[in-house]
Amino acid sequence: MIRSDAPVLLEIRDLQARVEDKAILKGVNLTVRAGEIHAVMGRNGSGKSTLSKVLAGHPAYTVTGGSVTYRGENLLDMEPERRARIGVFLGFQYPVEIPGVSNLEFLRVATNARRAEQGDEELDTFAFEDLVRERLQVVQMDPAFLDRSVNEGFSGGEKKRNEILQMALLEPLVAILDETDSGLDIDALRIVAGGVNQLASPDNATLLITHYQRLLDAITPDYVHVMAAGRILRTGGKELALELEQRGYDWVDEELAALEAAAGRQPAEVA
Amino acid sequence: MIHVGPRTRSTIVSKGISAGRSANSYRGLVQIGPKAVGARNYSQCDSMLIGDRAAANTYPYIRSQQPQAAVEHEASTCRISEDQLFYLQSRGIGLEEAVSMMVSGFCRDVFNQLPMEFAAEADKLLALKLEGSVG
DSSP reduced 3-state for A211: coil
Task: Tell me which residue in A59, A84, A98 faces B84 most closely, judged by beta carbons.
Answer: A98
| Band (B123; pLDDT cuts 50, 70, 90) | confident
Give A223 to chain B, closest Cα distance, Å: 26
- Average of per-residue pLDDT across A218-247: 91
Task: Of A225-234, A260-269, B26-35, give the lowest mean pLDDT range.
Answer: A260-269
* CA neighbor of A152 nearest in space, from A101, A186, A116: A101
Residues of chain B neighbouring A178 (CB-CB closer than 8 A): none
The mean of the pLDDT values for chain B is 91
What integer pLDDT is reported at residue A132 of this predicted model?
Answer: 94
| Angstrom distance (rounded) from CA A213 to CA A258 | 25
| Angstrom distance (rounded) from CA A217 to CA A213 | 7
* CA neighbor of A35 nearest in space, from A6, A69, A5, A68: A6
Q: What is the pLDDT of residues A148-175, one digit of tens each?
A: 999 999 999 999 999 999 999 999 999 9
Residue of higher predicted confidence among B134 and A88:
A88
Mutate to test the interface with B, among A79, A103, A109, A176 (most CBs of B within 10 A): A109
Residues of chain A neighbouring B108 (CB-CB closer than 8 A): 100
Q: How many CB atoms lie within 10 A of CB A261?
A: 11
For residue B65, what is the DSSP state?
Answer: S
Q: Where are the alpha helices (DSSP H) in chain A?
A: 48-56, 80-85, 103-118, 125-139, 156-170, 186-199, 214-218, 238-247, 250-262
Mutate to test the interface with A, among B86, B107, B110, B112 (most CBs of A within 10 A): B86
Q: Which residues on adjacent β-strands are paired with residue B32?
A: B3, B64
Domain boundaries, chain A: 8-95+172-262
Half-sphere exposure of A44 (CA within 13 A, CB side): 2
Residues 6+ apart with CB under 8 A from B6: B35, B36, B37, B38, B39
CB contact under 8 A, A170 and B91: yes
The mean of the pLDDT values for chain A is 91
Interface contact B92, partner A, CB < 8 A: yes
* CA neighbor of A27 nearest in space, from A261, A228, A255: A228
Residues of chain B neighbouring A106 (CB-CB closer than 8 A): 88, 91, 93, 101
Which contacts (CB < 8 Å, 24+ apart) does range A215-219 have?
A215/A39, A215/A180, A215/A181, A215/A189, A216/A39, A216/A241, A218/A189, A218/A190, A218/A193, A218/A194, A219/A37, A219/A193
Interface contact B62, partner A, CB < 8 A: no
Give A58 to chain B, closest Cα distance, Å: 7
CB contact under 8 A, B86 and A80: yes
Q: Provide the CATH number for the domain formed by A8-95+172-262 in this structure.
A: 3.40.50.300
CB contact under 8 A, B105 and A80: no
B86-A168-B101 Cα angle (round to 5): 35
| Angstrom distance (rounded) from CA A179 to CA A151 | 17
| Band (B133; pLDDT cuts 50, 70, 90) | confident
Task: Tell me which residue in A57, A81, A102 faces B94 most closely, judged by beta carbons.
Answer: A81
CB contact under 8 A, B94 and A96: no
| Angstrom distance (rounded) from CA A73 to CA A85 | 14
CB contact under 8 A, B90 and A56: yes
| Angstrom distance (rounded) from CA A103 to CA B91 | 12
**pTM as predicted:** 0.87
**Nearest-Cα residue of chain B relative to residue A52:** B90
| Band (A181; pLDDT cuts 50, 70, 90) | confident
What integer pLDDT is reported at residue A270 of this predicted model?
Answer: 46
| Band (A182; pLDDT cuts 50, 70, 90) | confident
| Angstrom distance (rounded) from CA A243 to CA A241 | 5
